[in-house]
Structure 1
Amino acid sequence: MWIRAVTLLARLGLATVWLISGWLKAADPSQTIVAVHAYQLLPDDLVRPVANTFPFIEIAFGLLLLIGLAVRPTAVASGIMLLAFIGAIISSWARGLSIDCGCFSGGGVTAGIDGWDYATEIARDLGFLALAAWLVVFPRTWAALGPRSRQNFSGEPGTVVAELSMVKESQ
């Protein structure tokens, strides 16, 4: 029972993160372009398309998790995206760039960014990655619309054990 409660909190928590992050970026597309450009990882021709796409991917992830549809695939995709974000932050830190990540607004070159700021951003994203990893292992939850994401209300004991067995079989 506690696993289902943690799963629901993880699902709604990660949904909230994606929805807020995506909404703030979509609301200020020019600032999102500045933030993506500041990482200096993409050719100039790709900065605008990536900056214009990321917010809507984040919003889609948030909506899918919020309604409980395709929870496991969305959690996997979230994990991949979070790993990319963590890699970009580490790359910026290693190259001595002084940028605000632009994860929840703003972003771009900013004076006074130090190792502590980067470490905090990485730790935060690792926390979000932990939520995604939890949802990969335990995708079933209450109030989910997806048939493979929905909690079985049969009340039969051992549903978590059965779900773990299904995870092992699918690998």
Structure 2
Amino acid sequence: MAATLSNADTSNADTGNRAPAAQWILEALSFISRFGLAFIWIFAGFEKSTDPVGTQQSVEGYDIFSPTWAQWIAQVIGPLEIAGGVVLLLGIFLRQAGKVSAVVLLLFIVGIAQAWARGLSIDCGCFGASATGHMDYLWTILRDILFIAMSLICVLRPYRRFALYS
């Protein structure tokens, strides 16, 4: 009977030890998602904002928008990305920011996929116009899918520590 109790105690101890470890892993994923996305959005927005001509050329390369629209998009996309990153960094409306991030990334994937399907040779302009020499469509789409997963973590389990308002 004593052996049975010690086995039960051991299994409870193992279960108890796994719960904090799993909790820590979830916290770490949540932290990395929130602050990683904040960095990504701020960096990408800054790169686009400092080179509006290059950003406009990247937008025009997708062959979706007129030159007037491409110029307008090039002017607003950088500041909007910076604003989204700051919202995540400060922890303001984390779930909503994660949803917006996922939708924007999905739109980027659609744009990249249509350019790839049409055989266009583009520079995605993701992190500035001159960030890459050769566009790897599959890698870019997979990277954006990872960023969508990070956005969804911000929606489902936002890292609220250091948040002003979540």
Scaled to the shorter chain, the TM-score interval is: 0.7 to 0.9
The amino acid of 1:125's aligned partner reads D
* 1:133 aligned residue (139, 142, 152): 152
Q: Which has the larger radius of gyration?
A: 2
Q: How many angstroms apart in 2 are the aligned matches of 1:6 and 1:90?
A: 28
SS at match of 1:99: coil
1:8 positional shift? 1.5
The amino acid of 1:45's aligned partner reads T
Does the 8 Å contact 1:4/1:141 carry over to 2? no
Unaligned runs of 5+ in 1: 150-171
Q: Following superposition, which runs of at least 4 residues in structure 1 exceed 6 angstroms of deviation?
A: none
What are the within-5 Å matches in structure 2 for residues 11-30 of structure 1? 11-30=34-53
Q: How many angstroms apart in 2 are the aligned matches of 1:43 and 1:91?
A: 16
Q: TM-score, normalising length from structure 2?
A: 0.81
1:140 positional shift? 4.1
Unaligned runs of 5+ in 2: 1-22
Stretch of structure 1 that moved more, 43-52 or 118-127: 43-52
Report which of the two has the higher share of helix: 2
Q: How many angstroms apart in 2 are the aligned matches of 1:133 and 1:41?
A: 28
SS at match of 1:100: coil
Matched, 1:122 2:141: yes
Q: TM-score, normalising length from structure 1?
A: 0.79
What are the within-5 Å matches in structure 2 for residues 1-171 of structure 1? 1-2=23-24, 3-106=26-129, 113=135, 117-146=136-165, 149=166
**Number of paired residues?**
142
